[in-house]
Structure 1
Amino acid sequence: MSVRTAPATPSAPAARPAGPRRLPGRPGRRPGRDRRRSGGRPRTPLLSRAVANSLLIVVTFYMVAPITWLVVAGTKSTEDLFGRPGFEFGEFNLFGNIAAVWQWDGGAYPRWYLNSVVYSLFGSLAGTFISMLAGYAFDKYDFRGKEKLFGFVLAGVLLPATVMALPMYLLFSKVGLVNTYWAVLIPGLAHPFGVYLARVFSQGYVPAEVLEAARMDGAGELRIFFRVALPMLAPGFVTIFLFSFTTSWNNFFLPMVMLSDHELYPVTLGLFTWNTVAAQSPEFYRLAITGSLLAIVPLIVAFVMLQRFWRSGLTAGAVK
């Protein structure tokens, strides 16, 4: 006996997902086309971009114009300084000006330059290291009155350096340190803003789990700081160092109060003396301008060489 099976009925077509119908003769838009055009972000109005760009141009011109004038004036002779407009080149005399600056008064400018290097480089390195130690301690250790002491340190940011110059002069005169290198180096070791930055960097760069693992391995606290924490804090160290180096290199009022020996002057105070004499001897204008041009070279070199660490350090804590 044969068994018949019912003929298979054709299955119903699958239902199309609901969506906007494409009109005949009108091509549909590709998905994501608008997002690709705008980069996934809302479009910025043209007026806002124009205002922002104009503001950037004005600020850039404001910052670059003095340096441009200094470069142009550093190539001029004394006659061209007074006989030509400020941004117009005269007879190129840059190397002659540099030689005159370097040889004036038996080489006073090289001594001032070396003094500034000593004050800024060694003072900033020592001050940055002390700030890193203090900031790390405020972040990773708990002790009685920690936040009150940290607030007392931050209060130092509110005190201008000019206010502290006279009390420091009186203190240093009692211990016989006035008119010495230490009179300029020691005040630079205290950097309240550097302590604050060091604590922020320690919070963002040094995980507590890493320190606990090092303690479980038997490492002491000093070894943990030097071998574990300090390498992680390298961007923060460079950032604080650059701030401290710039402040120390441009320091003027404290050396003027503390120093009376011309051989101990930094370059800022030496250029000030030349600029003061220039009212009676116009030849000193050329020396002061060329000396100012040479004085900004270390700052440019420091920022160019360390900008990679500096830029990464400024973004600490911005992204978790």
Structure 2
Amino acid sequence: MTTVTGTSAPALRREAATPVTRGRAAVLPTTALVLGALYCLVPTLWILVAATKSRTRLFSTDTYVPSLDLGLVHNVRDLSGYQGGIFWRWMLNSFFYATVGGVLASLVSAATGYALAKYAFRGRTLLFNTILAGVLLPQIVLAVPQYLLLSKAGLTDSRFGVLLPQLFNPYGIYLCRIYARAAVPDSLLEAGRIDGAGEARLFVSVGLRLMGPGLVTVFLLQFIAIWNNFLLPYVMLTSDDKFPLTVGLYSLLRHGAAEASLYSLVITGTLLSVLPVIALFLSLQRFWRIDLVTGALK
């Protein structure tokens, strides 16, 4: 009996110490997570609070103390009346660029990823690696060559000049290739070919349907990338009525250096520009749940 007790006591002590050790090991990741959350939430909180302040109270009150005198309502009204409501024109332009560009880029990514996943041809691996290398190129490197190419075609200061470079998304192609390989069975495609279906019909009727949940993710990523894109439209466009929100708010901020009252309009416009992206995230959540459930069943 003594021997059993002597051998079991250290084991019990080790078992009792295991949760403590794990708890100490989790301190660093938890701290990093909290700091990352604060890094994201503090600027957002500042925007929310600053948008409630009027022009006179923006720099004269505490930073994180909101104003309760309907300052947000007045700021939205002033922003809507600035230069004949040009802010809402910028908002519509951003919707156009992000929606049309996101849909077209998702279709291009789906077709390219499907072809790379389901067809064997010479140079497929080299082509895919070349496309994947495009993920490593920063946008600032591509902006000047894109501008020079589109200027030769006479597409500068036009909406097509902003849309065309956004249609090719290397990361979207990479995601579509992976998703097509996992979600589209080869046996189903062979059955369709036996029934006489052409390759284009197989892609539209089978490939796009099965890749639908994955394309939602590609569309969302591309929508946000175009919505937040600043450098390309800044280089391509010169007309105020064609600016997206990013370039329009930057021009408003630049004018605010000489007129401090415009800072409130910039802050309010920044807050309003975030709301469509949040609404898009919330509206597309159910598609992600369907994708997760489908993956779990597979």
Query: Percent same amino acid among aligned pairs?
Result: 42
Change in 2 beyond 3 A, CA 1:133/1:314: farther
Q: For residues 260 and 289 of structure 2, what CA distance do their matches in structure 1 show?
A: 42
Aligned to 1:182: 160
Match for 1:264 among 242, 247, 253? 242
Return the alpha-carbon distance in structure 2 between the equivalents of residues 312 and 142 of structure 1: 30
The letter of the residue matching 2:283 is: M
Residue 123 of structure 1 deviates from its aligned partner by 0.7
Match of 1:123 among 101, 105, 117: 101
Deviation readout 1:199-247 (Å, 9 max, x if unpaired): 0111121111121122222221111111112111111101111110111
Please report how far the alpha carbon of residue 81 of structure 1 lies from its aligned counterpart in structure 2 after TM superposition: 0.9
Which of 212, 216, 219 is the equivalent residue of 1:241? Answer: 219
| Matched residue, 2:31 | 54
Q: 2:66 aligns with which of 89, 105, 112?
A: 89
Deviations 1:271-299 (A, max 9, x none): 00111111111111000000000001111
Q: 2:48 aligns with which of 60, 67, 71?
A: 71
Q: Matched residues in 1 for 2:238 and 2:132: separation?
A: 32
**Secondary structure in 2 aligned to 1:60?**
helix
Matched, 1:144 2:122: yes
Task: Name the CA distance, whole Å, in 1 between partners of 2:198 and 2:248.
Answer: 47
- In structure 1, list runs of 5 or more residues that go unmatched: 1-41
What's the secondary structure of 1:293's corresponding residue? helix
Deviation string, structure 1 residues 120-178 (Cα, Å, up to 9, x no partner): 10011001100000000000001111111111111211221111111111111111111
Note the C-alpha offset of 1:92: 3.2
Distance in 2, matches of 1:264 and 1:66, equals 28
Max Rg structure: 1
Deviation at residue 51 of structure 1 after TM alignment: 3.6
Does residue 221 in structure 1 map to residue 169 in structure 2?
no
Partner SS state of residue 131, structure 1: helix
Return the letter of the residue paired with 1:278. Answer: G
Determine the C-alpha separation between the residues in 2 that align with 1:242 and 1:310: 11
Residue 206 of structure 1 aligns to which amino acid in structure 2?
V
The whole-number CA distance in structure 1 between the counterparts of 2:135 and 2:29 is 32
Partner in structure 2 of residue 37 of structure 1: none
Distance 1:317 1:59 in 2: 29
SS at match of 1:77: coil
| Aligned with 1:307 (options 280, 285, 292) | 285
**1:99 to partner: Cα distance:** 1.3
Q: How far apart are 1:310 and its partner, in Å? A: 3.7
Change (3 A) 1:305 1:49: same
CA distance in structure 1 between the partners assigned to 2:29 and 2:134 by the alignment? 35
Q: Is the 8 A contact 1:275 1:285 kept in 2?
A: yes
Residue number in structure 2 paired with 1:36: none
Distance 1:138 1:317 in 2: 21
Query: More helix per residue: 1 or 2?
Result: 2
Change (3 A) 1:316 1:200: farther
- In structure 2, the gaps of 5 or more residues are 1-17
Please report the TM-score for the alignment, with normalisation by the length of structure 1. Answer: 0.83
- Alignment match, 2:85: 107
TM-score between both structures, scaled by the size of structure 2: 0.89
Counterpart in the other structure of 1:21: none
Provide the residue aligned with 1:8 in structure 2: none
Conserved 8 A contact 1:139-1:199? yes
